[in-house]
Structures are given as C-alpha cells and as structure tokens.
Structure 1
Amino acid sequence: MTTIQEGNELTLEQIDAFERLRKFAESASLQTIDLKSSSQFCELRSIEANQSLDDEQWLEWLRSLRSDVKTMAAEASYFKGELSLNFWWGNSGGIFYCYSVQYRICKDGDGGNKANINWSIYGSPTQWRNHRSPDAMWQTCEWISWSTGGYIGAKSDKTVFCEVEFVFDKSGSDPKATATHTFKYE
C-alpha cells in the first residue's frame, strides 16, 4: 500500500469551510444551494479534485455531500482517549473527506501531557492517509481542538476504514489503545 499525494491534505481554511458547510446543512437543505450561497464555501473549490469543475458541476458536488460526526474512543490501563472526526462523502460515495475536530484524554492516576494520537483512513487499495500528532497531546480530560485531515478515494463498495491509536503518557512504558470503524456511504 502506498500513500497518496500530499495534495490531498486539507488546509485549515478548507477545514473551516467544511465546518461552515456542515452548519449550513443543519439549517437548510444542501439541495437548495445556488451559486451565490456557495461563495461562502469557496475554499472547497480549491481542492485539487474540484479545480476543473464548471459552475454546474461545482453546485452538483456541493449538493451531493453527506456529512456526519464520529467520535472514536479507546481505553487502556487507567486512560481513555476520544477523537471526534467530521466526515463528508462526495461524488456519490467515491471520495471520503475526513478531519479531526477535537480530542480528549482522561486519566485516573499518574501521567504527563506528552500523549500521542495517530489516526489513519484507508480507502481504495492505493489510497490511505496518516495523521500523527506531536508528542504533546494533553491528558486533562477536557476537549481540546485539533484540526487535521484530508481526503481519499473510497473502496469500490463505498467504504473507508478508520483506525485511531492513542499512546498515553505515563512514566515507564506508555500504554496504547486502538479504536477502529468502517464508514459506509449510504
């Protein structure tokens, strides 16, 4: 398996635009979006796969998106880690967009604030993305913002596999825990 091009990384501006689009979809149907209202999401038009779309194709892409939030959780020893992911399906389940929103690590005992969160998404046989945190994730049991993400092509059955690994920080050997989920376009 090989990694996909770095061009599939979402910028912070694109992640913010997906957030605005998610909020728009909560208040109005994406089916009602027109060229004027789509201007508030113009950062999404700069995604490499969208750059060649004409106005009609751009609106169809926006209308075809399906979004949701998934919180992945895993426990080891006296630690619990959670990572909230926003995800979108585009091109009728052919493309999967995913980005982290926030995380929380709770501990019931000793431990520092140098945990790690590594998450990956796996799509078609040659496409996957890895996101590795710095060795500095806090274990305060409070939700903390962390935005990183990208997009990949989905498998032919319109599924994407996600894996989140938490490496908790404590003196001695750091315990690890993994959460997995298969996303399916519906």
Structure 2
Amino acid sequence: MSRARPWSRGIAFTLAIASLAIVSATVVSTPPARAAVVSSSGLRTVSCTQGNFRGEAQIRPTFTGTNSWSGSGNTWHARVESYRITRLNGQSGGNKANADVATHQVSNGTPKYSALKYSPDNLRQDGQWHSLSSQSYTLPIVMLDTSYLEASVRFVFDKSGSDPQCTARVGLPAGGLVDGIVAQRHAVGYTDPIAYCKVDTPGQRCTITKTDTKSSTVEVSAGVSVGWVTGRLTHSWTNSASVSVGCWSQELEAGQSFYAYPTGTRYTFRTATTFFGEALNPTSGTAFEVDGGVACSVITPEQGRALS
C-alpha cells in the first residue's frame, strides 16, 4: 500500500536628589520553576470518514516541563492508545491499515508540524477497538509563543487499488497566562523617590522643586517577557512619564525628611503556563505603572535616621 508524504518586556537643611535610571522596565529574576508533568484529564477521541471507511482513535496528550517559560525542557506528546476502523456499506478490504500520529504547535499564528510517526502496517479493519499504545510522538514547545496545540491521526485504509485516507484532529488549548490581576490606582511609588530633603535643625521647612522622568517597573519570573505581561495588564502600558514637583513642607522636627514620590497604578498578578485548561507552575508578579503624578510626605525622625 502507498503512503502520503508527511507534514513538513542659608537654612540648615540638606537637599538630596534621588538618582535616576531611565529604563523601560525592571526585571527581577526568581529561581526556575520546578519540574511539572501534567497529563490530560482523560483520553481524547477523534474520528474521520472517507468513502466507506471510518477511523477512530483515542489520544492521550501529555505535557512535560522542566522550565515553564523558556523553550528548554518543554515538550508535549500525543500517544494513540487505541484505534477502531470500520468498513461501511459492505466495503471489502484487508487488515493492513495505518493510523499515523503527528503533533502540531501554532506559534504566533504560524503552524509548526512534527514529522509523522508511522504505525505498524497491520491495523485491523474489523470495527473493533484495538490497542496501539506504542504509537507516540514528542514535540518541543515554547509556551509563551503558543496559542494552541493540535494532535492529529492520519488513517490510511486498506483496500484493493488506491488506499483512501483521512485525518482526524483534536485541538488542545495551551500557552501563557496572566490572571488574578489586582490594580490599585493612585498608588505611591515609595521605592523610587524623585527627590527628598532632610532638616537638621527644628522649625525649618523644606521645598522640593524638580522636573524628572520616572520609569514603570515589572517584577516577573526569569524568562518571562515583560512586554507580554504588560500587554495583558493594560491596553496601553506607560513605560515612563515626566514628573514635575513643587512641594512645600510644614515646619519639621530635627531629623525629619520630606520626600517627593511618583504616583501610578500598582498591579499584583499571577503568571503561569496552561495546558488542558490547567495552570502549571503559577508564579506571583508585581508591577508599578507611573502616571505622571506626584505625592509628597513627611518622614518621621526614626524613619529619617534610617534613611541617613
């Protein structure tokens, strides 16, 4: 029998200006995620018909990941565990049929195909279920770039003359996930002050006048694209913003400090990869998106001494 070709982001005080580093985002690495092996909730049955032949197969897909985000160590495979081929309408034929399996990945809209894994050339066409557990194919994947995975079984039926064939497919949702998003508007960026002054004698006042640029920050797991995360937090992420400070303090005690901070939106969220609708290796993340606003506040003497 013949086979088709396989699928080919003057006053006594000291004034100090906070240092500035202009970057689009800050990435804080965390240790790689633990290995994970997750199987589907059960077998997936696929079928197709060509002429007087009907082919059915039970597929068990499995994801194996040693690093959930990078391409290293991420694989998935589809195993055909059993098949049934039925001849319809009195169709004659032998018992040399095939059920060849392939795995597919759609990455950024572009299909990526594995080669076919050929079955033995002796599959029966008697309308009964038969085991085929040795039939499996493994495909490396990059989860962030993946919109879905697909497993397919190509049946080649056995009859006299040319052999009819058909392909049965099952789609499996997969890829990256950002969920559990909590956004706090008008938050203060205490970790990145614009400027501050410290009063050394009591009864004095501070004045802060400054124009600067502050950048948004993102803290995520190593290997996760910052741009990919921010695109899911908001439709229009602000990488940086110009801020203008004009703040005057009340009379301060010795040792107190007066700070100016950027304001923005603080996000907390979770990132994960998904397979069969199940989140794998979820990891918490945070982000601060500047909005161009300013908040000024007095720091207590104890806090001021800690900052000295």
> Is TM (by shorter chain) over 0.5?
yes
Structure 2 counterpart of 1:162: 151
1:95 is displaced (CA, Å) by: 2.9
Aligned-pair RMSD on alpha carbons?
2.6
Structure 1 counterpart of 2:116: 130
Structure 2 counterpart of 1:173: 162
User: Aligned residue pairs: how many?
Assistant: 128
Bigger Cα Rg: 2
CA distance in 2, matches of 1:117, 1:105: 9
1:171 is displaced (CA, Å) by: 1.3
Unpaired segments ≥5 residues, structure 2: 1-6, 8-32, 175-276, 278-308
For the structure 1 residues 95 and 158, does the alpha-carbon distance in structure 2 shift closer, same or farther, using more than 3 Å as the test?
A: farther
CA distance in 1, matches of 2:126, 2:162: 20
Say which SS state the counterpart of residue 82 (structure 1) adopts: strand
For the structure 1 residues 135 and 89, does the alpha-carbon distance in structure 2 shift closer, same or farther, using more than 3 Å as the test?
A: same
Matches within 5 A, 1:12-161: 57=34, 60-62=35-37, 65-67=38-40, 68-91=42-65, 94-108=74-88, 109=90, 110-123=92-105, 128-147=114-133, 148-154=135-141, 156-161=145-150
CA distance in 2, matches of 1:140, 1:117: 14
TM-score after normalising by structure 2: 0.37
CA distance in 2, matches of 1:130, 1:174: 18
CA distance in 2, matches of 1:107, 1:100: 20
Deviation track 1:145-173 (CA, whole Å, cap 9, x = no partner) reads 00221422235225222222111111122
Say which SS state the counterpart of residue 146 (structure 2) adopts: coil
1:129 is displaced (CA, Å) by: 4.3
1:182 is displaced (CA, Å) by: 2.2
Deviation track 1:3-54 (CA, whole Å, cap 9, x = no partner) reads 9xxxxxxxxxxxxxxxxxxxxxxxxxxxxxxxxxxxxxxxxxxxxxxxxxxx
Structure 1 contact 69–86 (Cα < 8 Å) conserved: yes
Q: Which amino acid aligns with 1:111?
A: G
For the structure 1 residues 170 and 160, does the alpha-carbon distance in structure 2 shift closer, same or farther, using more than 3 Å as the test?
A: same
Structure 1 contact 70–86 (Cα < 8 Å) conserved: yes
Structure 1 or 2: more helix by fraction: 1
CA distance in 1, matches of 2:115, 2:124: 23
CA distance in 1, matches of 2:113, 2:165: 25
Unpaired segments ≥5 residues, structure 1: 4-55
1:183 matches 2:165: no
TM-score after normalising by structure 1: 0.59
